[in-house]
Amino acid sequence: MKKDSASLGVLQEKLGELTPLQRLLLVLVTVLLLGGAFYFLKYKDQAQNIRRLQTSILEQQKKLETLKLAAVEVEKLQKELAQSEEQLRQVLSLLPDQKEIPGLLDNISQLGAEVGLENILFQPQPEQPREFHAAIPIRLDLVGTYHELGVFLDRVSKLDRILKVENLNLTRQKDGSTLQVGLTAVTYRFVDTPPQATTPPKKK
């Protein structure tokens, strides 16, 4: 105990012999040493961890923004897909399927008879396959007045199926009051599987 007191007294004497400038320098050196020790032993590692965490937070924020934008885009695409499916459903509802073709042909023939047209020829033509649908032409030869023909074409245009009139040809009859009408009515049906291009067999 006496030794520690003696050492402390010697230290105080030596400090007392220092000039004010030397005391100031000693304080500065002590502060620098303590500050350096704190920086390298404690603060440096913590600062690196903080920077890593900040970088990770920024990356996660960017990912979150990207995911939010993707979610908005997915919702938009889902709405567009739903609209496209509804439009396709509406279009397909205008295309008769294979089972409805005979009934549609009967409707066309019946429309002509209802308006007073005489049916001379009613001849379905071979189906014409296309990429995603097939055209079904029907050759019609009718006899009647111009007014009856107009009413017939108007009623055909109002059918709830796609039906196009092509190759309309009018010939006046000898009595002068009636016309012979030749036309092709074309309807369409949806084809689930488009026709495959056939390749000629290889010669042996």
pLDDT at position 197:
46
Higher pLDDT, 153 or 26: 153
Q: What is the pLDDT of residues 50-61, one digit of tens each?
A: 788 888 888 888
Hunting for tokens 């009859």 — which residue is that?
173
pLDDT band at 198 (very low <50, low <70, confident <90, very high): very low
Q: pLDDT > 70: what percent of the chain?
A: 73
Hunting for tokens 């017939």 — which residue is that?
152
Q: Counting every residue, how long is the chain?
A: 204
Q: State the greatest distance between any 2 C-alpha atoms of the chain, in Å, as a whole number.
A: 152
Tokens describing residue 174: 């000898």
d(CA 30, CA 181): 116
The answer to whether residue 45 scores a pLDDT higher than 70 is yes
Predicted model pTM: 0.46
d(CA 26, CA 11): 13
Residue 156 makes CB contacts below 8 A (sequence gap 6+) with 108, 111, 163, 165, 185
Find the mean pLDDT for residues 131-150. Answer: 84
Using alpha carbons, select from 82, 92, 124, 106 the residue that is nearest to residue 191. Answer: 92
The answer to whether residue 124 scores a pLDDT higher than 60 is yes
Hunting for tokens 């007392």 — which residue is that?
16
- 100 CB neighbour count, 10 Å cutoff: 14
Higher pLDDT, 169 or 49: 169
Q: How far lies 179's CA from each of 146, 147, 155, 186, in Å?
A: 7, 10, 19, 22
Q: Give me the residues paired with residue 123 across strands.
A: 139
d(CA 30, CA 24): 10
Find the mean pLDDT for residues 47-52. Answer: 79
Q: pLDDT > 90: what percent of the chain?
A: 0
The answer to whether residue 195 scores a pLDDT higher than 60 is no
Q: What is the pLDDT of residues 78-119, one digit of tens each?
A: 888 888 777 666 665 555 555 566 777 777 778 888 888 888
Type of residue at 201: P
pLDDT at position 204:
45
E strands in 26-178: 118-124, 128-129, 133-144, 163-172
Residue 166 near residue 187 (C-beta atoms within 8 A) = no
Using alpha carbons, select from 189, 191, 171 the residue that is nearest to residue 105. Answer: 189
Q: Is the dihedral of CA 109, 114, 117, 118 positive or negative?
A: positive
Q: Give me the residues paired with residue 170 across strands.
A: 181
